[in-house]
Structure 1
């Protein structure tokens, strides 16, 4: 008797290997998969020209029982066609084999077509790359810089803005329009020598020349890696031959800091610029880190200011003493509705809809403008040419960072802790990794001591705390 769907659905794992009959030479064998699913492979057994054949009709339940029987009827019609059809008997197994062969041949033709298309696409790409290489061979230095900035400089914390300013001032005027492949050692040396000619009695420009050379070396290394040039024109220029750096060691004495607290409000500087200087002094952060800070990284509740990207590439957390908190709250009332602590007053020329932070050089320039006693005011700059002159000589915002660290040391903070507060990288890797946590409490105490000392000096500047003893400088 023919099988029913209910009989098939009633099959279990116990029926594995069982052979079922559906009548008319149709039979099925029961299979059980690893996960327990039962299936039945159906076949039609017949003879064609004296040879016994087994034709696969399909597998239940993937193929319904009625479809399996339909396939049986079609196969039988091929084996024994009716007299009315006037067709010759055909072996279904042979027909199935011929069908598979035709499908395989068609697949091979399609594969060959795809391969031919791929080869043609590769040839087109090779021609395009050859054309591009020919163009790159005449890539100008300025064009090379733009590619380097887009692909590499953008990874720096300042997105390459400082390097762009340096190149715009010292590199592009001399070799910016030259083809990068034409630049030689003499051209690079001319850039370095031109920078050194700007030296003054207080600044020998050696460090600037070395920094520019280092950036040029990175840019031409980038070009060399991409076969834009065949040789690095900076390779034979040694930094040591440029000259010796004059390491700044200016530290403001406590008497000078008290004087600075008196002079700063009268120096004609914007309130935000004054806040930036005092915030730098109280936190030991770099002036660029102060001016590019975002409000989202200031946590007043935890008294933590996080610097997610710093000069050494490491995340840095600063504990905010009372001086820092006071300055930040003053600033919050002015710029708190913007993303930046120190937002720019003007949008970028190429991004009129984009508000950025102020230029990281702005406060340094303001401080320098106010230490030019006897000089006439520059056009468009401050008239208070001597407002920030201190007895110890010219100073810069970066000297405040060094001064704050010195105060910490004079208050008994261990050198390793001061280095951590300055966010200097520990040279020994093991020490850098395993002693990180143990510095948190000493660092917090160091910032607290610094803040307390600054508050006492500020009080003396206002005429209070006259009984405070000034620490001796080293």
Structure 2
């Protein structure tokens, strides 16, 4: 039975819709547009094996027509999807049908061919994506690498402040915008030569070069082991090809060896007491030079008698000090080192060390910190402030063209022929322990040095608490008897 539709000239035959011009004619666009929701489920016959199915769309009150091409393959009937009208243009849908017919003429199953083309196109797209990624990555700069290293590859104390300041001063201005692939050994050599040329007889920049080179080499080594960055190191690690020794003075010692003698420590104490005496007798204390802060004096003697690091000392809280057990507990977060390779530390305080902490407690009884900030007692003192104060009072050994604002500029703490630092006190205390015949492994434990041998670390679990406590007590007794220069209080001030 053949019937005309009410809304168009389309021919309807057993739920199959034909062009109004006859069964052997293709549909015009106008005819396709005339097919409404009332034909939901009907089939479309467009000639040359192209068929469609009408689906009503509730949201738009329109229809979509899914077209497919019918063909036989290996004694089976198969369908090749050609597109959906009106999402796809009817001309493109017929082109898909014609492409399928061409594949059949060539003895190829069009469905398999299309599947293969999709895979091929996906691979090509992936290759294009990878190429685009590589094109972006190949121009990534030294600053990009450094920031990535800070975020994912480096964990230093105080949010990497020290290394960030060093790189920002010496490397970022010259390398920051340079692509990683273009950084060579020659470029790095020129940078280090520039640093060396900026040195003076007093401060030849050897230490700066050694430390900066070490940190830069760590950065590039990390990059080489990271798939994101390794492909950009087209010539390998540039620092590995650089002979840093050629840039250093022949007499430069890589490791600092400064140890204060007993005579120098006597002189240091005399200098501190002389300042106290001068200030006590000053007629106008508002303009007189302030003596060394008592907190810093205690820090000096604690650093010497416990061999602690100054950063650990500045972070000490009173909850960490047990006056009854005579211990100072240093939590792992306050200890210098890499996570996984450091551990909390307990210092068994000698009578001498304990007396220094008691003096501190009397100076600032209400603060939670052993070394509180003067302006904000609820916070600890800046970790570098005491080191700067010590350095400001050894100006003969410091490179400074003009006096720093609101800072000292004298030699009131200078002793010997070289500057001294808080870390030198740690080395000095260790040397004194050697003098007292304390075994080296006990000295290392007192300094909380890592046990590098993995087998020893695993199997040797004895704590040596008693031996360490005895070692610290011997050191305290030695300092109290041999190092402290005894002068009566009255002789100093009156």
Both proteins in one fold, TM over 0.5: yes
Mapped partners of 2:190, 2:160: distance in 1: 23
- Asked if 1:277 corresponds to 2:300, the answer is yes
1:461 partner SS? coil
Which residue pairs with 1:404 in the alignment?
A: 429
Indicate the residue corresponding to 2:267 in structure 1.
259
Q: How far 1:240 sits from its partner (Å)? A: 4.1
- RMSD after superposition: 3.8
The whole-number CA distance in structure 1 between the counterparts of 2:181 and 2:379 is 36
1:140-181 deviation per Cα after TM superposition (whole angstroms, max 9, x unaligned): 32232122111122x234432221121122112222232333
Runs of at least 5 residues in structure 2 that lack an aligned partner in the other structure: 1-120, 276-289, 490-494
CA drift of 1:293 comes to 4.2
Does 1:414 pair with 2:445? Answer: no
CA distance, structure 1, for counterparts of residue 382 and residue 160 of structure 2: 13
8 Å contact kept, 2:310–2:423? yes
Structure-1 residue corresponding to 2:329: 305
Partners of 2:374 and 2:174 in 1: CA distance? 32
Residue 60 of structure 2: aligned partner: none
Deviations 1:225-247 (A, max 9, x none): 24332333323114444436414
- The answer on 1:379 being equivalent to 2:412 is no
Match 1:235 to one of 237, 240, 256: 240
Q: 1:183 to 1:261 in 2, by over 3 A?
A: same
Distance change >3 Å, CA 253–CA 150, structure 1 → 2: same
User: Pairwise mapping of residues 297-336 of structure 1 onto structure 2 (< 5 A)?
Assistant: 297-302=320-325, 303-308=327-332, 309-311=335-337, 313-315=341-343, 316-332=345-361
- Closer/same/farther in 2, CA of residues 130 and 175 from structure 1, 3 Å limit: same
Query: Match of 1:219, SS?
Result: helix
The separation in 1 between residues aligned to 2:228 and 2:206, in whole angstroms, is: 31
Contact 1:286 1:401 in 2 (8 A): yes
CA distance in 2, matches of 1:150, 1:196: 30
Give SS of 1:317's match: strand
Which residues of 2 match residues 111-150 of structure 1 at below 5 A? 133-150=134-151
CA distance in 2, matches of 1:190, 1:345: 44
Please give the alpha-carbon distance, in whole angstroms, between the structure 2 residues aligned to 1:325 and 1:283: 10
Q: Secondary structure in 2 aligned to 1:234?
A: helix
Q: How many residues align?
A: 338
> 1:263-318 deviations in whole A, cap 9, x for unaligned?
23637443333333222112101223323445554444431322413337321322
Distance of aligned partners of 1:257 and 1:221 in 2 relative to their CA distance in 1, 3 Å threshold: same
Task: Report the counterpart of residue 217 of structure 1 in structure 2.
Answer: 217
1:17-53 per-position Cα deviation (integer Å, ceiling 9, x unaligned):
xxxxxxxxxxxxxxxxxxxxxxxxxxxxxxxxxxxxx
Determine which of 384, 388, 392 is the counterpart of 1:369.
Answer: 392
